[in-house]
Structures are given as C-alpha cells and as structure tokens.
Structure 1
Amino acid sequence: MTSLRERFTSDLKEAMKAGEKGKVGAIRLIQAALKEKDIEARGAGKGEATADEILGVLQKMIKQRQESIAIYDANNRPELADGERVEVAVISSYLPKQMSDDEVKAAIDKAITESGATAVKDMGKVIGILRGTYAGQMDFGKVSPMVKAALGG
C-alpha cells in the first residue's frame, strides 16, 4: 500500500492534468498543512508526521471547513460554502471509511470493558483506547458525549 503522502502527490499530478482546480487546491492545502505539521514535529525533535497524525490533520481540516460552511450558509454566501464543500469531499476521500453509529456504540462498549472504566472520571482512558484503535474512522467530537452517556454522565 502506498503511503498517504505518495497518494497526495500522485493525485495532485492527476488532478492538474485533468484540470480539476477544486481538487488541486484542496490537495495543495493538505500538503501545506502536512508541511506545517512536519515542521512542528521537527521542532519537538521528532521525524515526519506519522500516519495517525496525518489522519488527525485531515480530520481537523474537515472540521474547520464544516464550521466555515455553517457560517457561510448562515450569512447567505452559497458560493463560498460550495467551495468549502468541494474541499471537504476531497479531504474526506483520504480518510478511512467512517464507522456507522452502531459500530461506534459497539466500539465504545468494547473500550469501556477493556479499560475497566466505571464512571465519567475514567472517560480519558476510554477515549484514549478509541483514538488508538479507530483514528480517522470516527468523529471524536460526536463520540465524547456518547462515551460520557455510556459511563453514566
């Protein structure tokens, strides 16, 4: 399997040849964010960003764009919202398949059992297990309240 970085480069070349401006722009944004992450890691004495860190960067980028879409829609700027939607679609294509709600609930139950969590104060342990096992496959902004509810919070 090729690495995500190699896939970004090859997809960028293909999009440029095909004249897909939206896709080219989105991939360039991804590469810029990765370069920034690598520089940050180098400053901390680490190497390049790992695959899990790259998935985290992609999820953060999607979240930022979804927030922008909501703002643009609220302010009647559909042309700007559409541009953000194109970027979300391109960025999402690099993430693993997202888990369904039922799969997320099953994963939460398994993580609670694994960690031995019994109360809301153990939520960090459960989230840690989920992040380690399912990085890029679930939206942790939505998962946190579900974990809290499962722990009786």
Structure 2
Amino acid sequence: MNINEQLQNDLKVAMKAHDKTSLNVIRMLKTDLTNEKLKLGHDLTEEEVLTVLSRAKKQRNDSITEFKKGNRDDLVDETKKEIVIVEKYLPSQLSEDELRPIVQKAIDQTGAKSVAEIGKVMGIVIPQTKGQASGGQINSIARELLQ
C-alpha cells in the first residue's frame, strides 16, 4: 500500500473515530501531496513524497520552537501530537550511531577536510537518508567529524 492509500484509509478511520487532530493532519498531508503533484506536473515518486512529509514535520518542529518562545504550551502540546501523526508515514529515523558511519563515508568520498566543505558532505548524505534523518542532525555530526 502506498502512502496515498494509507492516508486515505487513515482518514476514514479518523473520521469514524471523531479524531480531529488526526483528521486535520491527514487532510493537510493529502493537500501538501496534491499541491506538490500539481506543482511538479507528474505523479510523485517515493522520494518526492518523503520530501513533502519531511517538510511537514520540519514545519511543525519550527512551530514548536516559536510557540515555546511565545510561552504557548497549549500549542506546543498540540503540535507534538501532530508530529507523531506525521512520523507514522515517514521511515523510521536513524539513530546517531547509525548515521555517523554514513556521514564518515561521505567525508571520505569527498575528501572534505574542514567545516568549510560541509556542503559536499551534506550533498551526499541527505539523498541517502531522505526522511530518515534531519538536515540539522546530519550537519551536527558532519561538523563534529570535520573538526
């Protein structure tokens, strides 16, 4: 079952259960995927779907940061619930121990010697770990290994 079918099935379940949070998040994800499909002009590949879902998760993480600055704990809690729902459709996240060798291999491949060359490393690692690791997490490990 592809992600669109899974979203459609989960939408029906959320409707029957009167789960407003899940219903809203799933509708937003379906809308994001449809908009991306229209923008690109073709059916989305698995990688493009993961990009859209990763973007949705990142936006919610950014929102949490802003809500914390504004002391809006109610919105922080709600957004955390939304992230859990989005993560259901993403591949499992790589741990730091699993990600470190991938970043090290990319450093070896590019011959990067300093933090100034981190872009080369990111360019290799991000496509390999699409949806499984955030850019910030990859960047952090790369910086640590390049120092």
How far the C-alpha of 1:137 sits from its partner, in A, is 0.7
How far the C-alpha of 1:150 sits from its partner, in A, is 2.2
After alignment, is 112-121 or 139-148 more displaced?
Answer: 112-121
> 2:125 touches 2:138 (CA, 8 Å); kept in 1?
no
1:143 aligns with 138
* Counterparts of 1:115 and 1:50, CA distance in 2: 28
Segments of structure 1 that go 5 or more residues without pairing to the other structure are: none
2:26 aligns with 27
Q: Percent identity?
A: 33
How far the C-alpha of 1:51 sits from its partner, in A, is 1.2
Q: Which runs of 4+ in 1 moved over 6 A?
A: none
Say yes or no: does 1:59 pair with 2:58: no
How far the C-alpha of 1:95 sits from its partner, in A, is 1.0
* Counterparts of 1:120 and 1:55, CA distance in 2: 28
How far the C-alpha of 1:123 sits from its partner, in A, is 3.1
List aligned pairs for 1:93-112, cutoff 5 A: 93-112=88-107
Q: Deviations over 1:31-90 (max 9, x none)?
A: 111111111101xxxx12221121121121112112212222332222222221121110
* Counterparts of 1:71 and 1:119, CA distance in 2: 32
After alignment, is 118-127 or 50-59 more displaced?
Answer: 118-127
How far the C-alpha of 1:100 sits from its partner, in A, is 0.9
1:18 aligns with 17
Segments of structure 2 that go 5 or more residues without pairing to the other structure are: none
After alignment, is 115-124 or 105-114 more displaced?
Answer: 115-124
* Superposition CA RMSD, Å: 1.8
With normalisation by structure 1, the TM-score equals 0.84
Change beyond 3 A, Cα 1:118–1:76: closer
* Counterparts of 2:87 and 2:18, CA distance in 1: 20
Say yes or no: does 1:126 pair with 2:121: yes
Aligned length: 147
* Partner AA of 1:48 in structure 2: D
After alignment, is 76-85 or 115-124 more displaced?
Answer: 115-124
User: SS at the partner of 1:136?
Assistant: coil
Say yes or no: does 1:87 pair with 2:82: yes
After alignment, is 92-101 or 68-77 more displaced?
Answer: 68-77
